[in-house]
Amino acid sequence: MKTDYDVAIVGGGIIGQSIAYHLAKENVSVVVLEGNAVGSGATRAAAGMLGANSELDDDDAFYQFAKESQRYYHTLNQELFDLSQVSIQLFDRGMYKLAYNEEEAETLKRALPMNSTLEWHPREQVLKHEPTLSSDLVGALYIPEDGHVSPVDTCLAFSKSARFLGADIVENVPVHSIEKTDEKDYALQTAKGTYYSKHVVIANGVWSHYFLKNLDLQLGMKPVKGECLSVKSDKIKLEKTIFYDHCYIVPKGNGKLVIGATMVEDDWTTEPTFGGIQSLMNKMAPILPDIKYATLLDTWAGLRPQTIDGKPYIGQHPSGEHLYFATGHYRNGILLAPKTGEMMANLIVGKQVKKEYVEAFSLTRHIQQVMR
Amino acid sequence: MKTDYDVAIVGGGIIGQSIAYHLAKENVSVVVLEGNAVGSGATRAAAGMLGANSELDDDDAFYQFAKESQRYYHTLNQELFDLSQVSIQLFDRGMYKLAYNEEEAETLKRALPMNSTLEWHPREQVLKHEPTLSSDLVGALYIPEDGHVSPVDTCLAFSKSARFLGADIVENVPVHSIEKTDEKDYALQTAKGTYYSKHVVIANGVWSHYFLKNLDLQLGMKPVKGECLSVKSDKIKLEKTIFYDHCYIVPKGNGKLVIGATMVEDDWTTEPTFGGIQSLMNKMAPILPDIKYATLLDTWAGLRPQTIDGKPYIGQHPSGEHLYFATGHYRNGILLAPKTGEMMANLIVGKQVKKEYVEAFSLTRHIQQVMR
Amino acid sequence: MKTDYDVAIVGGGIIGQSIAYHLAKENVSVVVLEGNAVGSGATRAAAGMLGANSELDDDDAFYQFAKESQRYYHTLNQELFDLSQVSIQLFDRGMYKLAYNEEEAETLKRALPMNSTLEWHPREQVLKHEPTLSSDLVGALYIPEDGHVSPVDTCLAFSKSARFLGADIVENVPVHSIEKTDEKDYALQTAKGTYYSKHVVIANGVWSHYFLKNLDLQLGMKPVKGECLSVKSDKIKLEKTIFYDHCYIVPKGNGKLVIGATMVEDDWTTEPTFGGIQSLMNKMAPILPDIKYATLLDTWAGLRPQTIDGKPYIGQHPSGEHLYFATGHYRNGILLAPKTGEMMANLIVGKQVKKEYVEAFSLTRHIQQVMR
Amino acid sequence: MKTDYDVAIVGGGIIGQSIAYHLAKENVSVVVLEGNAVGSGATRAAAGMLGANSELDDDDAFYQFAKESQRYYHTLNQELFDLSQVSIQLFDRGMYKLAYNEEEAETLKRALPMNSTLEWHPREQVLKHEPTLSSDLVGALYIPEDGHVSPVDTCLAFSKSARFLGADIVENVPVHSIEKTDEKDYALQTAKGTYYSKHVVIANGVWSHYFLKNLDLQLGMKPVKGECLSVKSDKIKLEKTIFYDHCYIVPKGNGKLVIGATMVEDDWTTEPTFGGIQSLMNKMAPILPDIKYATLLDTWAGLRPQTIDGKPYIGQHPSGEHLYFATGHYRNGILLAPKTGEMMANLIVGKQVKKEYVEAFSLTRHIQQVMR
C-alpha cells in the first residue's frame, strides 16, 4: 500500500475529485481519502443546476468565479469524456426564474444589467416556450447560460480521469486526525493505517467542520439539509430549468424532472422526510399544474455545507502551513467544482491565482471584514 | 412442454395461487398462466390488511366468508411454511378505527353488536395504547382480529407450495383467448402455444373484465387505482393498524409503516402519481403528527378490481360450463384469498360449498336481485 | 376515452414507439397499446449496441438497411432531443471484434471488403488503444461506425416525441384479439375496452407470435433469452465496444460496462439465472483480466424475438389487408428501430419504400425462397 | 441537543445497538454515535446464520458464550417484538454441514461429543430431508440449533427498542477522537459537536482498529471482506442451512437463498466484485445442481473485523479506565450480538459477568497467553 503522497485530499465528493483531477494533470502525486463511497454525500443529492445567475445576486468576485466555473464546464465536457469515457450530461437550454406578481418581476429585472445575456420574457413569451407552466405568472427572467450537469456522472468523470492520470482514491476510510510530523509534513490517521503527505486539502463538505474547529480556526459550518424528488411525465413539456422561491424543476436529459429542495438547518439526517417532501409538493404543485399526473419516481436528501456568509472556503490555513480547505460550497458545489479544483491545484503547485478569488474565499475574510 | 391439465388458472396473483394451492392439495393437475410475473399486479400493491371487520359493514354472507378467511390464515401460517419455507408474516395486534367526533363515534359503535370481540376504547385508552396518535380523537373501535400479512410473501408461499405439490406456474404468458374444443374441454391460446384443460378459472383481477365481456356475461369490472407510501420512524410507536376515512397505517413487522390508499376510478396506470401521494400525505399527516419526521421510503400503486356491487365473483359461468371466475375482490383480495382458493377448489372437485357463499358471490346475483 | 384511430400499434417497445413517432410526424392519428409498461420488454434488456457491421455477415439488403438505420441515429439524436428533451446517449467510438488465433483473424478480415471504413488492427495497435484487454490476442477488426445508444432513453425519446406530436400511448392493456369489423376496419379488444383503427401494426416482439399464428400465417417466432450484467471499474480503460464470440462489452457513457449476452432458446422467463450469469462471467473474464476487480452492479434478462431466418418481419399481411407486422428483430432491435419506424410509416401513408427492403423483410419471403 | 450521557457507544451496528438496548434496559443514559446509517456496515452484509456449532470447533468459553447467545435469541424474539413491533425473523430448522468424502465425514463426526443435540445423518437420510442437494455426498452433520435471523431486522429491533427505552441514536456522525477531560470523563469529538460521557464503548467493527491503535493498545484488526449473493427458485426445496467449506446457503423466510461468502483479507472495499461472485458461484454450484436455474437476485459485500486470534474483544481497556471495546466479532457478529450486549451492559453497571468470558475476550489475553 502506497502511503506517501505530495497531496492528500480528505473527501471524495465532486470538490475533492475535481481537485484530484487538476492536481493529477499537473503530475502531482495525490491520494483522495473518502470516508464512505465516492460522491455519496452532497454530490449525490444535488440536482446539478449550474445556477451562476439564478443563485447569486451580486456582481462580485464570487459571481465572476461562478460564471467562469460554469463556462469551464464546456471545456471539461469533452476533456473528461476523452479521458474517462464518462459523459457529464451537460445540458444547456437555460433557465426561467419566474415572477407571479409585479414585485417579484421588479426584483428579477434588477439582475438584467449584471449580464448582457439575460432577458426579460413577459407572460406570453414564457408560455409559448414552456406551455405547461401555470398561466398566472407575470413573466420570467430568462438566463440562457444556467444549464445543468449530472452531479454523479461529473464526479465519476473527475474521479476516473484523476485515477487514469495517476491519482489514488481510497474509499471507506474516514480520516480521524491530521498531524504535523517531523520527516513528512502531515500524517493522516485512519483505521486502514496512516497516510503521509506534504500538503493536505480538506474537502469533505459539512464534515469539514471538525477540522475547521480542530485546526484552531474560529470558523464553522452547519448543515442545511435539502430534500428532493423526481418525477416523469409525458404531459409536461419542459425545456428550461424552472426556478421559483429558492426551489427548482430541472428537466434532466433522461426525461426525469428533478424538483428541489427543502432547506432544513442543523439537521444531520440524510434521508428524505415525509414532511419535507410533502411541503415541497405543496409548494411546487401550483407552478406546474399537470405535475399532479406525473409519476413519482424517487425522493432523496443530502447535506449542504453552509458557512457564516454563505460563501465557500477555498484557500490556505491562515498559519501559512500546507493545509488547505475547499469546502462550504452550500447550494453551489456542482457549479463551483471545476474552478475550485483548478484554483486549489494552482495554489498548491504555486501557479498564479486571481487575487480577488483568494480574498473572496479566504478563511480569514470574516476577521478582515470586521477590521475594515 | 406439458400442455394438458385438469384445471388452467388465468392469473398468477394471490387469488390464482391460492386456487392452485388448494387444487394441488386435492391432487388435481393444474397450471397457472400469468401474463407477467407472479404477484406483480394488485397483490404486490396491497398493504395486506386482514380487514374483515374494518372493511365490511353488514353481517351478511360476505362478512362471514371474510371472517372465515381471516381465521383460516392462522392455520395456513404454519401449513404454508412447512411446505414452502416461506413465512407469510402474519401479525395479529388488531386495529383501531378512529373517530374524531361524536358522529363518527356513533357510526363506529354500531358495529359492536356484530362481533363480540369488538370493543369501544375512549380517547384516553386509545392514547395509552398508541401514544403517538394525534390526541384530538374521540375514541376508537378496537378490532382485535384484524391483523395483517405480507401479500408478496403470502402469494409466494401459496405459489411455492402449489408447485411443490405438482402445480405448474408459467410466467410472461398472457392468455389471448379461451375456446371450447371437441376433444379437450378448453383451449387457452398464448404466444407460447396452446394450453388445454377441462376447467378454466379466470382470476386475473381487473383484466378479467375482458373475459367477463367476451364470454357473454353482462357484467364488468373497473379498476380503482390505489396509491400507497411507506415510511420508517423511530419516533412513532405503533402497534395496531390505524384506520380512518378509508385510509390506513399498517405497522409491518419489518418496521415499515404502510400508508394507503387513494381511490382513483377508471385509471389503468399503475404508477404512483405526484398528486395521489400528495393527497394521501395531506390526509394522513394530522392523524400521526410525528410522521412529518419519518423517513419516506417508497411509493407504489396498483389496480383493485371493482364489480358492480363491490363483492367478488367467485363461481361458475351461468351456462353451466366448466368455466369459473374468481375475481373482483376490490379492496379485500388478500383477506379473501384463502377462502376463495378453498371454495373454488371445492366447486371444481365437487366438494360441498355453503349455499350462502355460492349465492353471495354468483355471477348472476345481480339479475336475481332485480327479480326478487 | 378516444377509441378511434388511423393506426393502432400493438406493442410499446422501441419498435412500436419508433413507428408511432414516424406516423405522428406524418400527422397520422395513432395509438400504441402496450400490455405492460413502455419499453419494459426486450428494449429494457438490450445493451444498445449499433452493431451493423459486427452482427451482420452478408452485404445484402438487410445489411444496407442496418447501415442506414445506424446512420439515421445521427440525425435522430438532435431531432428527438429537440422534441422530447431526452438524450438517446449516442456514443460513437467504434468497436473492436477480437481474434485470438489466426483462424479467427482470417474470418474477421473477410469483412474488410464489405465496408471501406473497416480496418484491421494487429495486436500492438489494439493494445495501444485498449491497454486493459488481455494481451494474448492476435488482432482485431476495427469498426468505427458501430457505436451505441441507451435503449431505454431512445425508447423514451421516441415515445415522448410521438406523444407531443399527438400520439396516444396506453399502458397495461394487453390486446386480446384483432378483428375485422364492418364500419371501422379493425377492432382491438382489451380489458380496458375496444379500440378501433383503419390500420393495425403488430410490434410486440416475441409475443407477436400469437398474432402471426392467429392471423393464418404459417410463420412463427421463438424467444432467445439473453442475460446481461453490468460492472464499473476504475482499473479498466475501455473506449470501444469489445465483441468476441457473440458476446460484447459495451462501455456506456455513465461509466458502466454492459456485458452480454447469453442465448437460451425457447425460454420464456425474463429473469437472469445463476447459471446464465455464471457462464457469461466464465466466458468474458479472460478477455479483460482486470474485470475480476470490477464492482458487479446489476444483472438482468430479456427475450429476443427470433424468426425462422433470423431477419425481422417488416411488412403487410400477405392478404393485402391493412394489417402490418414489425417484429422479429432478434439481436438487432435497437439498431433497426429507426429505419423500421420510418419504413412502416411510409408503407402505411403510401410513401415509397425501397423494393429490396420490402422483399427482404416480407412475411412471404420463406415461401418465395422455397419456390425459387 | 443533549450531549451528556452515562455511556457513549461508537458504532451503530448490531453490536452497538445490542449494547445500547441492554444499557437502556438498566436505565442507563446512552447515546450511539454512528458514522453512517444504523446497521449499514457488516450488519447489513451478514447472512444472519446463528452458527455456534458450525463456526466454532473447540468446546471452550467462546463456544459456551456463542451457545448462550444463540439460545438468548429465543427470548429476545418476543421481547424485542413487544417493544419495537419489529420481528427479528428467527427461523429454527437447523443446519447440515456436508461431507463429500470419508475424510470430511470423520472431521465432522469429531464434533458429535461436543453437543448432545448433534446427529450424524448418512447420505440417504440427508437426501430424504433435502432432496435438491447434489447426491454425491457422503453424509452430513445435523445441527438442530443453528438457525438464523435477519441481521437488518434484528439490528432495527434492538435500535428501536433501545430508543423507546430512552437511548439516543445519532447517524452520520463519525467520531474523530476520544479524550479524557477533567470534569466529564470523556469527550468524543465529531463534526456535529462534542459529546461527553462517563463511559465509552468502541463497537464500530473493523473501523475500531483506529481506536485500538490510538489508545495505546498493541492490538489490531484487519478486514476480511465477504461477498454474498441471493437467489430465489421454485425448483429448490431447502429447509435447513447448508454449510460446506466455509460457505453456506441460508434459506431465508422470504424465499430467498443467501449464499456466502468469500474471504478477502485486507481489502477495505465494500462492493461485490465480478471475481468474487464468480468464484462463489463456481464453488457452490456443484452442491445444489438446480441452482443454475435459480433467479439471481442480488449481490453485496461487507467487512468482517478479524482480530489476531479470531475471537472478539469484549472488555475494558487494560488501563482500568472507563473505556470499553466490543469489536472483532469476525464471522460471528450476529450470533454473538445478544450476549455481547448483555455482557457489556453488565460490565458497565457492575453486575457480575462470568470470569471465563471476561478472560476469553479480554484485550490483554494475547499477552497472558505468551506469559503462560
DSSP string, D349-367: HT----HHHHHHT-TTHHH
For B192, what's the count of Cα atoms within 13 Å in the CB-facing half-sphere?
22
| pLDDT value of residue C367 | 59
Superfamily covering domain B95-146+222-306? D-Amino Acid Oxidase, subunit A, domain 2 (3.30.9.10)
Question: Could you write out the DSSP letters of every residue in C5-57?
Answer: EEEEEE--SHHHHHHHHHHHHTT--EEEE-SSSTTTTHHHH---B--HHHH--
Q: Which three cell numbers stand for residue C197?
A: 383503427
- Report CA Rg, chain C: 21
pLDDT tens column, A60-92: 999 999 999 999 999 999 999 999 999 999 999
d(C-alpha C190, C-alpha A141), whole Å: 48
| pLDDT value of residue B219 | 78
Chain C residues with CB-CB distance to D271 below 8 A: 295-296
Q: Residue C19 pLDDT more than 70? A: yes
Kindly indicate the confidence band of residue C370, based on its pLDDT and cuts at 50, 70 and 90: very low
Subunit contact A159:C234, Cβ cutoff 8 A = yes
Cβ-contact B225, B301 below 8 angstroms? yes
Query: Quick check: C89 contacting A, CB < 8 Å?
Result: yes
Cβ-contact D103, D66 below 8 angstroms? no
Cβ-contact C100, C137 below 8 angstroms? yes
Q: Which three cell numbers stand for residue C201?
A: 401494426
**3-state DSSP call for residue C108?**
helix
Is residue A296 within a helix (H) or strand (E), and if so which, with residue range?
A: strand A295-306
ipTM of this complex prediction, to 2 decimal places? 0.94
Chain D residues with CB-CB distance to A269 below 8 A: 171-172
Subunit contact A274:B291, Cβ cutoff 8 A = yes
Mutate which of A171, A207, A214, A215 to test chain D, going by most D C-beta atoms within 10 A? A207
Is residue B156 within a helix (H) or strand (E), and if so which, with residue range?
A: helix B151-164
Q: Which three cell numbers stand for residue A170?
A: 481510497
- Each domain of chain A, given as residue ranges in start order, spans 4-86+150-220+308-371, 95-146+222-306
Q: Looking at the partner chain, which of D85, D251, D254 has a beta carbon nearest the beta carbon of B239? A: D85
Cβ-contact D49, D146 below 8 angstroms? yes
User: CA quadruple A283, A285, A291, A295: dihedral positive or negative?
Assistant: positive
CA distance B243 to chain D (A): 18
Torsion angles phi and psi, residue D37, rounded to 5: -105, 150
CA distance B268 to chain C (A): 7
d(C-alpha C221, C-alpha C235), whole Å: 42
From A119, A93, A306, A126, select the one nearest A208 (Cα to Cα).
A306
Query: Quick check: B365 contacting C, CB < 8 Å?
Result: no
| pLDDT value of residue A196 | 96
DSSP-derived letter for residue C365 is: H
**Mean pLDDT score of chain C:** 94
Cβ-contact B151, B44 below 8 angstroms? yes
From B142, B153, B296, select the one nearest B229 (Cα to Cα).
B296
Cβ-contact C263, C245 below 8 angstroms? no
Mutate which of C234, C238, C250, C293 to test chain A, going by most A C-beta atoms within 10 A? C234
| pLDDT value of residue C58 | 82
Amino acid, res. A323: L
Query: Quick check: A129 contacting C, CB < 8 Å?
Result: no
Q: Looking at the partner chain, which of B172, B176, B214 has a beta carbon nearest the beta carbon of C268? A: B172
From C287, C276, C269, C13, select the one nearest C127 (Cα to Cα).
C287
| pLDDT value of residue A27 | 97
Cβ-contact C203, C13 below 8 angstroms? yes
Torsion angles phi and psi, residue D300, rounded to 5: -160, 180
Chain D residues with CB-CB distance to B297 below 8 A: none
d(C-alpha B193, C-alpha B196), whole Å: 10
Query: Quick check: C132 contacting B, CB < 8 Å?
Result: no
Q: Which three cell numbers stand for residue C331?
A: 439481436
Residue of C nearest to A160 (CA): C234
Question: Could you write out the DSSP letters of every residue in A111-147?
Answer: TGGG-TT-EEEEHHHHHHH-TTS-TT--EEEEETT--
CA distance A171 to chain D (A): 7
Q: B167: cis peptide before it, omega within 30°?
A: no
Buried b / exposed e over A99-120, threshold 16 CB at 10 Å, is bbeeebbeebeebeeeeeebeb
pLDDT tens column, B32-42: 999 999 999 99
Chain C residues with CB-CB distance to D294 below 8 A: 273-274
Chain A residues with CB-CB distance to D206 below 8 A: 191
CB-based contacts of A66, cutoff 8 Å, min separation 6: A52, A55, A56, A332, A335, A336, A339
Cβ-contact A234, C12 below 8 angstroms? no
Query: Quick check: D86 contacting B, CB < 8 Å?
Result: yes
Subunit contact A234:C163, Cβ cutoff 8 A = yes
Torsion angles phi and psi, residue D304, rounded to 5: -80, 135
Subunit contact D274:C282, Cβ cutoff 8 A = no
Q: At what angle do helices A274-284 and B274-284 cross, to 10 degrees?
A: 120
| pLDDT value of residue D319 | 84
Q: Residue A55 pLDDT more than 90? A: no
From A90, A24, A69, select the one nearest A333 (Cα to Cα).
A69
Kindly indicate the confidence band of residue C184, based on its pLDDT and cuts at 50, 70 and 90: low
Residues 137-196 of A with CB under 8 A from C: 153, 156-157, 159-160, 163-164, 169
CB-based contacts of D26, cutoff 8 Å, min separation 6: D345, D349
From B53, B57, B86, select the one nearest B71 (Cα to Cα).
B53
Subunit contact C291:D275, Cβ cutoff 8 A = yes
Residues 237-266 of A with CB under 8 A from D: none
Architecture of domain C95-147+222-306: 2-Layer Sandwich (3.30)
Q: Looking at the partner chain, which of D81, D163, D255 has a beta carbon nearest the beta carbon of B234? A: D163
Query: Quick check: A64 contacting C, CB < 8 Å?
Result: no
Subunit contact B281:A277, Cβ cutoff 8 A = yes
Rounded average pLDDT per 10-residue block, chain B, 372 residues: 94 98 98 97 97 84 96 98 97 96 96 92 97 96 96 98 98 95 87 96 96 78 97 94 94 97 96 98 96 98 95 91 95 97 98 97 73 38
- Report CA Rg, chain B: 21
Q: Looking at the partner chain, which of D87, D93, D234 has a beta carbon nearest the beta carbon of B253? A: D87
* Chain A: touching chains (3 or more CB pairs < 8 Å): B, C, D
Cβ-contact A347, A76 below 8 angstroms? no
CA distance A274 to chain B (A): 5
In tens digits, what is the pLDDT along chain D, a chain of 372 residues? 799 999 999 999 999 999 999 999 999 999 999 999 999 999 999 999 999 988 887 889 999 999 999 999 999 999 999 999 999 999 999 999 999 999 999 999 999 988 899 999 999 999 999 999 999 999 999 999 999 999 999 999 999 999 999 999 999 999 999 998 876 689 999 999 999 999 999 999 999 999 988 776 777 899 999 999 999 999 999 999 999 998 999 999 999 999 999 999 999 999 999 999 999 999 999 999 999 999 999 999 999 999 999 999 999 998 878 999 999 999 999 999 999 999 999 999 999 999 999 999 999 887 554 433
| pLDDT value of residue B370 | 41
Q: Does domain C4-86+150-221+308-371 have CATH number 3.30.43.10?
A: no
From A205, A212, A199, select the one nearest A23 (Cα to Cα).
A199
Q: Residue C168 pLDDT more than 70? A: yes
Architecture of domain A4-86+150-220+308-371: 3-Layer(bba) Sandwich (3.50)
Task: Give CA separation, A7 vs A3, A166, A184, A328, B145, in Å.
Answer: 11, 12, 12, 20, 65
Torsion angles phi and psi, residue D18, rounded to 5: -65, -40
Q: How many CB pairs under 8 A join A and D?
A: 55
CA angle at residue C82 from C79 to C84, to 5 degrees? 100
d(C-alpha D199, C-alpha D5), whole Å: 8
Kindly report each contact of residues D210-218 with a partner whose C-beta sits within 8 Å and lies 24 or more positions away, as own/partner.
D210/A176, D210/A189, D210/A190, D210/A191, D211/D10, D211/D178, D211/D325, D212/D313, D212/D325, D212/D327, D214/A176, D214/A189, D214/D177, D215/D178, D215/D317, D215/D323, D216/D319, D217/D317, D217/D318, D217/D363
Cβ-contact B168, B32 below 8 angstroms? yes
Query: Quick check: B268 contacting A, CB < 8 Å?
Result: no
pLDDT tens column, B287-301: 999 999 999 999 999
Amino acid, res. D279: S
Q: Of 3.30.9.10, 3.40.50.2000, 2.30.30.100, 3.40.50.300, which CATH number belongs to D95-145+222-306? A: 3.30.9.10
pLDDT tens column, A180-212: 887 669 999 999 999 999 999 999 999 999 998
DSSP-derived letter for residue B49 is: B
